[in-house]
Amino acid sequence: MTGYREENKLIMDKNAPIGVFDSGVGGLTVAREIMRQIPNERIVYFGDTARVPYGSKSKDNIIKFSRQIIRFLQTENVKAIVIACNTASALALDEMQQEFDLPILGVVKPGAKVAVETTANKRIGLIGTEANIRSGVYTRYIKSLDDEAKVFEKACPLFVPLVEEGWLHDDITLQVASRYLEELKDTLIMGCTHYPLIRSTIRKVMGDKVNLVNPAYETAIELKNLLERDNLANKCDVDSPSSMYRFYVSDAEEKFKLFANSILPFDITMTKQINIENY
Ligand code: DGL
């Protein structure tokens, strides 16, 4: 364990990595935003490729999976954790914050907050997985920030497989997006790790005027602020990606690597498969 308590304050090693986890590859959109905005932080990424998708799972299972992953990340001595998965952030963040004694951030609150701050007419569209939308967590949080805000929710389950198939700029993706998004005309929260990868298709359907919110971007800002506030920011020089970042998966290493290399600004050379059920 990286941290220890001193007069009830948690003291962590600033050099320790940030743990970032997701149901699979999608959370790499959050990891790459952290890499871009806070390049001197080390990252240990875990993608739960054996149990993806979380978007169709129950709350109990998502909590169990998140708990196992955080236990694993603790063995990697992380100083803080980012739940990159929107679905796990919506369904498991509160429980994980109560159970574990280290800073844990999700992507829902940062995304919701910026949508409330930037909407011109208090009308906010929200797209995400079925479990995420069903939970109502994003909407409740938006309403707690501004009770006059109106939230228009839409689950878009086909987007995840389309992105994983690599059909980012395909006509089929455009058709699916037109169907899903036809009633959403205002500020839109892309409430799923995969959606920023089809941002240009979403933009085509929504038009230039709509404000597209990427929670990954806001989460990286929030993480940076948290590390500075808690005196946890790593002041070391930036090293090569292979020494700054480690990648773990629960299955299908090669597929993960291919996807990662298509969206990260560098090629990852090593991923390691672990049995997450052991944690
Ligand atoms: N990572 C999930 C999310 O952001 C999408 C993929 C899944 O359903 O597991 O909600």
Per-residue pLDDT reduced to its tens digit, 77-92: 999 999 999 999 999 9
> What integer pLDDT is reported at residue 34 of this predicted model?
98
Arithmetic mean of pLDDT, 191-219: 97
* Ligand 1 centroid, distance to 11 Cα (angstroms): 32
Model confidence, pTM: 0.96
Lowest-confidence range among 9-23, 80-94, 222-236, 253-267? 9-23
* Ligand 1 centroid, distance to 22 Cα (angstroms): 7
Q: What percent of the chain has pLDDT over 70?
A: 98
- The verdict on whether 85 is a catalytic residue reads yes
Which long-range contacts (C-beta less than 8 Å, at least 24 apart) are formed by 271-277? 271/247, 272/246, 272/247, 272/248, 273/248, 273/249, 274/72, 274/248, 274/249, 274/250, 275/250, 276/46, 276/48, 276/50, 276/51, 276/65, 276/68, 276/69, 276/72, 276/250, 277/68
* Nearest CA owner, ligand 1 atom 2: 85
The answer, yes or no, to whether any atom of ligand 1 lies below 6 A from the CB of 48, is no
Arithmetic mean of pLDDT, 147-157: 97
- The verdict on whether 236 is a catalytic residue reads no
Arithmetic mean of pLDDT, 240-264: 95
Arithmetic mean of pLDDT, 229-241: 91
> What integer pLDDT is reported at residue 2 of this predicted model?
62
Ligand 1: atom nearest CA of 87 is 10
Is it the case that residue 7 has pLDDT exceeding 80? no
Provide the pLDDT confidence category of residue 3 given band limits of 50, 70 and 90. confident
